[in-house]
């Protein structure tokens, strides 16, 4: 990478760390820059001066949004998410509120905010872990290979996005390299997830995979032990919805033998919907 390109990348990275509340060690930044171009200390000196200057919020303000983000703690962002979520009176308004939210650092690393797809007011709400590459490009949840398997799983019990299923995630921005979302990233999304449940009033939630199930049920227990039974999900506003954890379709694509257990979970869901008088 040319020296100025690596300096720009390093500057972006250090800014992002700072926005995340990480103390950036400028000595390490200087050392990293010097290591990029050991034969040209003068050039390294120029670049590190730029990095130092850009790491100083007071010396180089870069617009209101950036300074605002820097000044806010995780708690502040969660409070802002709560306030935005509370002011949304329907699902399209909630979608717009999520799209306007700047409190998740993942947002700067991906293309689109991926909120929901499917039928508003559907009896079944499917919640996954977060967008992958395809979802990030298209802006809709579960549209890649895992999404196609999800559609087939839903179809097996007469559910589909066009009539009786609503699909979203516990995180709205694609994590780099498709890693799992971190606890802080999930925490800033959670007020929106809760409000989505309050507004949509589903009869049953499917939590797809360990990340979604553990986050929604606030537990460290893994998906293998959570699945196979019904759990209770409750929002801070008091909406109570039964929740059935299932293996994530991406996992089932890799572990076909577990499809039989996923089938049992789908049958359990179907049975519960019938008991609740939900026609599908
Ligand atoms: N996996 C998920 O959990 N959600 C998506 O939207 C896509 C893949």
Residue pLDDT, tens place only, 193-242 = 999 999 999 999 999 999 999 999 999 999 999 999 999 999 999 999 99
Determine the pLDDT at residue 57: 38
Is the minimum distance from the CB of 175 to ligand 1 under 6 angstroms?
no
Q: Is a pLDDT exceeding 90 seen at residue 35?
A: no
Please identify, by atom number, the ligand 1 atom nearest to the C-alpha of residue 212: 3
Superfamily of chain region 71-275 = Uracil-DNA glycosylase-like domain (3.40.470.10)
Between CA 143 and CA 118 the distance in angstroms is 12
Between CA 7 and CA 114 the distance in angstroms is 31
Mean pLDDT across the chain: 84
Q: What's the average model confidence in pLDDT over 8-18?
A: 44
Question: Of 130, 170, 212, 248, which is best to mutate to test ligand 1, by the most ligand atoms within 8 angstroms of its C-beta?
Answer: 130
User: Which of 3-7, 184-188, 192-196, 199-203 shows the lowest per-residue confidence on average (mean pLDDT)?
Assistant: 3-7
Strand boundaries in the chain, DSSP class E: 117-118, 124-128, 165-169, 204-208, 231-234, 240-246
Between CA 37 and CA 48 the distance in angstroms is 11
Question: Of 98, 112, 140, 142, which is best to mutate to test ligand 1, by the most ligand atoms within 8 angstroms of its C-beta?
Answer: 142
- What is the distance in A from the centroid of ligand 1 to the CA of 75? 26
Between CA 7 and CA 224 the distance in angstroms is 45
Between CA 211 and CA 246 the distance in angstroms is 11
Geometric angle at alpha carbon 241, from 237 and 243, rounded to 5°: 130
Is the minimum distance from the CB of 129 to ligand 1 under 6 angstroms?
yes
pTM for the model: 0.77
Is the minimum distance from the CB of 141 to ligand 1 under 6 angstroms?
yes
Q: If DSSP codes are grouped into helix, strand and coil, which group holds residue 107?
A: helix
Report CA-CA distances (Å) from 84 to 9, 51, 187, 191, 237: 32, 34, 14, 9, 15
Q: Is a pLDDT exceeding 90 seen at residue 169?
A: yes
Indicate the domain borders of the chain. 71-275
């Amino acid at each position: 990478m040319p020296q100025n390109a690596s300096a720009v990348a390093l500057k972006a990275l250090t800014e992002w760390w700072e926005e995340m509340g990480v103390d950036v060690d400028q000595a390490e930044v200087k050392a990293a820059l010097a290591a990029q171009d050991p034969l040209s200390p003068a050039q390294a000196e120029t670049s590190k001066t730029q990095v130092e200057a850009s790491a100083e919020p007071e010396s180089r303000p870069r617009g209101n949004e950036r300074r605002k983000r820097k000044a806010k703690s995780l708690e502040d962002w969660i409070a802002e998410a709560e306030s935005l979520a509370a002011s949304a009176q329907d699902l399209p308004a909630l979608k717009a509120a999520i799209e306007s939210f700047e409190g998740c650092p993942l947002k700067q690393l991906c293309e689109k905010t991926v909120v929901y797809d499917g039928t508003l007011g559907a009896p079944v709400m499917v919640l996954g872990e977060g967008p992958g590459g395809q979802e990030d490009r298209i802006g809709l949840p579960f549209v890649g290979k895992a999404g196609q398997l999800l559609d087939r799983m839903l179809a097996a019990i007469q559910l589909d996005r066009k009539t009786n299923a609503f699909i979203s995630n516990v995180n709205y921005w694609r994590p780099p390299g498709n890693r799992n979302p971190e606890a802080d990233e999930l925490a800033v999304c959670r007020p929106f997830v809760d409000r989505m449940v309050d507004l949509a009033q589903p009869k049953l939630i499917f939590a797809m995979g360990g990340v979604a199930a553990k986050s929604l049920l606030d537990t460290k227990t893994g998906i293998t032990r959570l699945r196979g039974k019904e759990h209770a999900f409750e929002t801070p506003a008091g909406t109570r919805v039964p929740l059935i954890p299932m293996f994530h379709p991406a996992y089932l694509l890799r572990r076909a033998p577990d499809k039989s257990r996923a089938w049992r979970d789908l049958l359990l869901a179907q049975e519960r919907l019938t008991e609740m008088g939900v026609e599908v």
